[in-house]
Amino acid sequence: MADTIYAGTGDGYAGRQDKITSSWATIRAEADGEVQNTNDTEDFIYVISRRLTSKSFDGFQLLRALTPFNTGGTIPADATITAADLVLEQTDIAGDGAFQNCAVVQGAQPDETNIALGDYSSYDALDSPDEGAARFSVSANGTKTIPLNVTGLGWIKKLGEASNGGGSSGWTKFMIRTGTYDVDGTAPTATTSKVFSEFSSSTGANPPFLTVTWSSPGPPPLSVARSAVKIKGSQMRLKGGKVLIK
């Protein structure tokens, strides 16, 4: 069986915009963001790693996107999940350089219905995190169909299964981070390397969704134990397809 499950309205992004006095390593490791948004006010979510320079600002910008899915509302507790694709619609790109890629890691936002500044660090690991899929290119706009690997399939929650990071049960949570810049820690430069990716949110024209293929065991076979029936002082005979007892 294959089901399409759309992102919940708690998707969004959390990020930082720091002056250059902070190093890229310091910004990556901060616990809280300085900016966050949900699709209450925007139909887009952002994944950004770049250095901005102007007369009034010289610093780094790092935004991470979060996309929760209520998979437990569809997939039963006894299901076996065999395949899944995460599908995102990229609507804008302003990247350049060789490292225009993003990574899918497991999100850990405690409230699947809302984004908070603390969700900037709602992941399982800052450095060398488990990745739920091969890194995907964001060098062009369009539909990004991202097959989950065995690790990613293990993140999909079924009915009643505890969600990563807390919150209601049955929620599968992803965080999208730039790969080389954020996950690997390579600092972007102002002129030759950056990622600015905009994706449609759950209230946008093309919301994120999961396609999940799963199977569930059927009912146990009917088993009838042997039994003996003893009837004293009675006669049994077949009449019109019925058993009559006298």
- The answer on pLDDT for 5 being more than 80 is yes
pLDDT in tens, 81-114: 999 999 999 999 988 999 999 999 999 999 999 9
Gap between the Cα atoms of 36 and 38, Å rounded: 7
pLDDT in tens, 24-49: 999 999 999 998 886 556 789 999 99
Instruction: Tell me the pLDDT band of 221, cut-offs 50, 70 and 90.
Output: low
Query: In Å, what is the CA distance from 79 to each residue of 36, 74, 166, 213, 229?
Result: 35, 10, 22, 10, 41
- The answer on pLDDT for 237 being more than 90 is no
- The answer on pLDDT for 136 being more than 60 is yes
Of 68-82, 171-185, 187-201, which range is least confident?
187-201
Sequential DSSP letters for 17-84? EEETTS-HHHHHH-SS-SEEEETTT-SEEEEEEEEEE-SS-EEEEEEEEEEEE-GGGTS-TT-EEEEE
Q: Who has greater pLDDT, 64 or 245? A: 64
